[in-house]
Chains A and B, each alone.
Chain A
């Protein structure tokens, strides 16, 4: 990489120049086998609630993300599910460093990216890209497809030399299944599914290692959803990508994910392989969530047992004490209000070899047969 002779203002926060060089070196290295490519440790994000105009004082905080930890391995897909407002999109923004966390760390290849800024951060961002939910608002209507997909090259000119960009963009269009001759068209000339392909091409432009997908198919029609999911799986095999796949459609998450984390009110309540979560859920919230999913098969619909939760998700500005799910939980006892359950393999399953032995944050974790998504 050519050295920049004139350090810009933004660089000053990055610390000593050798620090930058070190980070850049780390980023270029392949991740060692068995090590997670991304580890999140006790991530916390509180948005302050303030009162007053001249004398602003903080009166509280929305605890959007409150102590989230997980690992992501190379070539793996981690699904994150949960209701709206549970903090899944905030986690995505924290991983992209679009928001600074209140506490906790995001380790990418062992480097805490929440402390980086300037050039070091730029080097990290090249490897972590994002695909957004709504392909109608995430593409600039005044830019051509070529400009949109080529824009990452303006920011990271070392990836594609100037003369080579058009060819690169056309290659990317071909990879995502669009006609390379569409390079001069505008987003409005495409359908929803095609636009999402453009968003994916933009995410791929810098050859990232991790792609964070925030509800990538929920704005699409059913028949087009399958096309985009297939494309994403194909690209994962081809480029050995790691996905973080955020969605509220549980059957889509199950199809694409190797492991799944379930979030509720800013916390991960259960995490495990897709089989463990969908076939052997032990947390009551996961069980309720799964049983609420309508099954596209009418046979036996009248016999189906369904857990219907009452009420709404409590406000994250004032979450319940102890277990956050206790206000809607049918198992709740006094202990749940007093003690915060830790995310760990439940005691009773600890030594057994059953699929129920996975991390679940409930005092009374047990298996319950629910209808599967």
Chain B
């Protein structure tokens, strides 16, 4: 029953550089804060990134690094209050979504930008059949009748390869396995063939064998429709498999950006380097793992200067005083490394260490 496949081929993945048009989505200097009883939690502090059609951007970070909050701000599903976008812009095809009316945004949400959530069991409504939930997209956005919507729901379930779609369209979420539920989430996001999909930890709750199935399906569909994909995850392995470029987040800021091939070989930020070194590896069996000391900062009290300085092996006085901007990373001789940036005062030293 199973098959042996090569994962993707080189030609299908190189979609990034080909489009000469402006990026699909640009996030510029985004700031999000939450007003709580204990003070203002600064969840996102100046995030800038962009995604083009057919490209996969992986946003990597630990819990509390602001990666999901950024995604929620893009989707316009942030709870406000307590959340507040205090600064920045989110440009979709050149238009700032933060200045649009609610009605305009609703037209984009689902139709142009869709989201896949982490936990499919809690993201799906348990008292409605999956067919009804899938069909809702067509009824609401395209004014389809119930019958049409059901037919399209079956078609979608077929496309994400749920066996016996016609029989299962009336089933409820709890009747599906974890991998199948995640497929339904993907089908829902794909329903209106959006230009951009934001996947927030789409496989974290799944077993590795199912994770491989789901990631393969996602890559295939992305390729078919030339969609942009923002993949939010903390799994360095998944990122290495599918991403074109990577943005590493820490305490609400992007600390490093790079094309996927470069970052694993030569990280330019001590945090990225620490994360990569803390993965158990073959050649370090029996030895102590490298561990980043300490804990991620409390967002109510982000340390002054570089937020990583209390945990950083390279920290100097300058790190405790000045917030490092995202420096463009170059070779020692000044040769540019396209797409690379590091928010570290000592990126040069880190790159060659």
| Chain A interface residues (CB < 8 Å from chain B) | 83-84, 191, 193-194, 221-227, 229-230, 233, 248, 250-252, 254-256, 274, 288-289, 292-299, 301-312, 327-330, 332, 372
With A288-B2, A299-B261 as given contacts, are A224 and B295 in contact (CB-CB < 8 Å)? yes
A304:B291 contact, CB within 8 angstroms: no
B208 touches A193 (CB 8 A): no
B237, CB-defined interface residue at 8 Å: yes
Once A223-B291, A294-B241, A302-B13 are accepted as A-B contacts, the answer to whether A330 and B4 lie under 8 Å apart by CB is: yes
Closest residue of chain A to B292 (Cβ to Cβ) is: A223
Q: Is the CB of B261 within 8 A of A298?
A: yes
Q: Which of B1, B9, B209, B265 contacts A330 (CB 8 A)?
A: B1
**Known pairs A295-B237, A302-B6, A308-B216 / 7 extra A-B pairs, C-beta < 8 Å:** A194-B295, A222-B236, A255-B289, A256-B280, A294-B208, A296-B276, A308-B2
Task: Give the docked Cα–Cα distance between A344 and B10 (Å).
Answer: 42
B280 & A84 in contact (Cβ 8 Å cutoff): no
Query: Does B207 lie at the interface of the complex (its beta carbon under 8 Å from any beta carbon of A)?
Result: yes
Chain A neighbourhood of B1, CB < 8 A: 310-311, 327-330, 332
User: From B285, which residue of chain A is reached at the shortest CB distance?
Assistant: A255
Would A297 and B264 be within 8 Å (CB), given that A288-B209, A289-B209 are in contact?
yes
Min CB gap B241→A, angstroms: 5
Give the distance in Å from the alpha carbon of A194 to the alpha carbon of B294 in the complex.
10
Is there contact, CB below 8 Å, between B280 and A252?
yes
Asked if A305 meets B209 with Cβ closer than 8 Å, knowing A223-B274, A223-B292, A229-B280, the reply is: no
Whole-angstrom CA separation of A227 from B238 in the bound complex: 22
Instruction: Tell me, in angstroms, the Cα distance from A296 to B238 when the chains sit together.
Output: 7
User: What's the nearest-Cβ distance from chain A to residue B249, in Å?
Assistant: 13
Q: Are B180 and A222 in contact (CB under 8 A)?
A: no
Decide: A304 and B6 in contact? CB cutoff 8 A: yes
Using A293-B237, A372-B282 as known contacts, say yes or no to A309 and B291 having CB atoms under 8 A apart.
no
Residues of B within 8 A of A288 (CB): 2, 209
CB interface residues, B 278-314, toward A, < 8 Å: 278-282, 284-285, 288-293, 295-296
Residues of A within 8 A of B241 (CB): 294-295, 298, 301
A224, A225, A254, A295: residue with the most chain B Cβ atoms closer than 10 Å: A224
Contacting pair A222 B62 (CB below 8 A): yes
CB distance from B79 to the nearest CB of A (A): 22
B282 touches A293 (CB 8 A): no
* Residue positions of B touching A, CB distance < 8 A: 1-10, 13, 62-63, 177-180, 207-213, 215-216, 234-241, 243, 260-261, 264-265, 274-276, 278-282, 284-285, 288-293, 295-296
Q: Which residues of A contact B216 (CB under 8 A)?
A: 308
Measured between beta carbons, the chain A residues less than 8 angstroms from B3 are 308, 310, 330
Complex Cα gap A250–B284 (Å): 15
Cβ distance A127 to chain B, nearest Cβ, rounded Å: 26
Contacts of B207 in A (CB 8 A): 83-84, 248
- Chain A minimum-CB-distance residue to B203: A294
Q: A226-B278, A328-B1 are in contact. Are A309 and B285 (CB under 8 A)?
A: no
Q: A248 contacts which chain B residues (CB < 8 A)?
A: 207-208
Among A221, A295, A332, the most chain B Cβ lie within 10 Å of the Cβ of A221
Looking at the assembled complex, report how far the CB atom of B85 sits from the nearest CB atom of chain A, in whole angstroms. 26
Separation of A51 and B234 alpha carbons in the complex (Å): 44
Are A223 and B212 interface neighbours, CB within 8 A?
no
B234 interface neighbour in A84, A222, A274, A329, Cβ under 8 Å: A222
Beta-carbon contact of B278 and A223 below 8 Å: yes
Taking A296-B237, A312-B180 as contacts, is the C-beta distance between A221 and B208 under 8 angstroms?
no
